[in-house]
């Protein structure tokens, strides 16, 4: 049975509010931990966003420990919005805490919209990340083109009817990036995957499942 803990993690701007699912999974040999990054805080993004909680359920169903957290200034996290720079620092602090608590962990990252950039940027700076999923990445607002040092499996999930992130901007990014990214299309899905969350959960499981089973290193 999965467990859920409300915790606070030391961050560079103060304590970060977080939810830790399935801590018992991290007691096994070579544990897997999935950390999930939520969408833009100035537009209502929090760790309780439905896309984020759906991804968390996928990780728990795969038997992983899962951690989602609020960036600085969101919910009960200290600090104020810092235009992606500070939020990347927040994610680095979360990863450092996890590594301290669970030294043998194997790390996966996932982010949605603005959070996709946070997850991808930190993945480019963190060799220990074993897999990355970016959902509806905000490629028009943040420099995904500069992220050229990601060597783990990278999956990009995009809805073709996204009303927030223009799908063509994502397709254009994929056409010019040197990164090896596997694109997964959701026909007629909007930005928040309304009516498609069960399908999204299954897709996340299909992306990360082979990695944690050792089929992809």
Write down the domain spans for the chain: 4-212
For residue 48, report the phi and psi dihedrals to the nearest 5 degrees: -100, 10
Confidence at residue 28, expressed as pLDDT on a 0 to 100 scale: 66
Confidence at residue 79, expressed as pLDDT on a 0 to 100 scale: 98
- Between CA 18 and CA 191 the distance in angstroms is 24
Written as six digits, the tokens of 149 are 């040092």
| Residue ranges of the chain with per-residue pLDDT less than 50 | 215, 217
- Between CA 214 and CA 198 the distance in angstroms is 25
Q: Work out the number of other CB atoms within 10 angstroms of the CB of residue 145.
A: 12
Give the CATH number of domain 4-212; options: 3.40.50.1820, 3.40.50.150, 3.40.30.10, 3.40.50.10470. 3.40.50.1820
């Amino acid at each position: 049975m999965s467990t859920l803990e409300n915790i606070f993690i030391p961050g560079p701007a103060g304590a970060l509010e977080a939810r830790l699912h399935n801590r018992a999974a991290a007691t096994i040999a070579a544990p897997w931990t999935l950390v999930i990054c939520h969408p833009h805080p100035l537009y209502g993004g929090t760790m309780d966003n439905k896309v984020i909680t759906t991804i968390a359920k996928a990780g728990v169903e795969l038997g992983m420990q899962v951690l989602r957290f609020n960036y600085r200034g969101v919910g009960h996290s200290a600090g104020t919005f810092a235009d992606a720079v500070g939020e990347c620092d927040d994610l680095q602090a979360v990863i450092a805490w996890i590594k301290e608590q669970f030294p043998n962990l194997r790390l996966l990252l996932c982010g949605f919209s603005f959070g996709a950039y946070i997850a991808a940027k930190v993945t480019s700076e963190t060799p220990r990340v074993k897999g990355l999923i970016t959902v509806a990445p905000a490629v028009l607002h943040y420099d995904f083109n500069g992220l050229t040092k990601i060597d783990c499996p990278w999956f990009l999930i995009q809805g073709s009817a996204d009303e927030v992130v223009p799908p063509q901007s994502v397709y254009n990014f994929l056409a010019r990036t040197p990164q090896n990214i596997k694109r997964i299309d959701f026909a007629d899905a909007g930005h928040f995957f309304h009516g498609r969350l069960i399908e999204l959960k299954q897709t996340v499981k299909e992306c990360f499942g082979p990695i944690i089973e050792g089929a992809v290193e």
